[in-house]
Amino acid sequence: MPGALGYNIWITLTKQIDLVYMLVHALRLFKKVTHVFPIRGHSYLPNDQDFALIEKKKRRNSPDVPEDWDALIQEAMVKPSPFVVVNISQNMFFIIQNACSSYFLKTHRPKLGLREARIIEISSDSKN
């Protein structure tokens, strides 16, 4: 069902936009958020190079446990500075849904032209 996949992506994107709107306007955690939609095959982000270094290191080693992955990632780049691995525990996670649920309405939303959008910017300067 190709249509179902597109619908699920649309639902996910609208939830993301709702969340960003709430973080900017209701909780006032950010002054401006710019969401750039990825274009297939055209990332060119600096972290792509970082992941390439990790993949290269992974081809020569086969990590089995999380500690092996930590060491592999730390050793993947030495210069200009090595990657920093921060081990986290369950209590460090925050359930954003619990904090945000009171800010969302359960009503129908207007149609968003997400298929045509490449960048969505939500700023505290305007409510639109």
pLDDT tens column, 23-71:
888 888 889 988 777 776 666 677 788 888 999 999 998 889 999 999 9
- At residue 69, the 3 state secondary structure works out as helix
The reported pTM is: 0.46
For residue 58, the model assigns a pLDDT of: 92
Distance between CA atoms of residues 101 and 108, nearest Å: 16
The single-letter code of the amino acid at 101 is: S
- pLDDT tens per residue across span 75-118: 998 888 888 998 888 888 877 777 777 776 666 666 666 566 77
Nearest to 114 by CA among 40, 11, 1: 11
Residue 121 confidence class, pLDDT cut points 50, 70, 90:
confident
For residue 65, the model assigns a pLDDT of: 93
Strand locations in 11-107 (E): 32-36
> How far is Cα of residue 68 from the mean position of the Cα atoms in its chain?
25
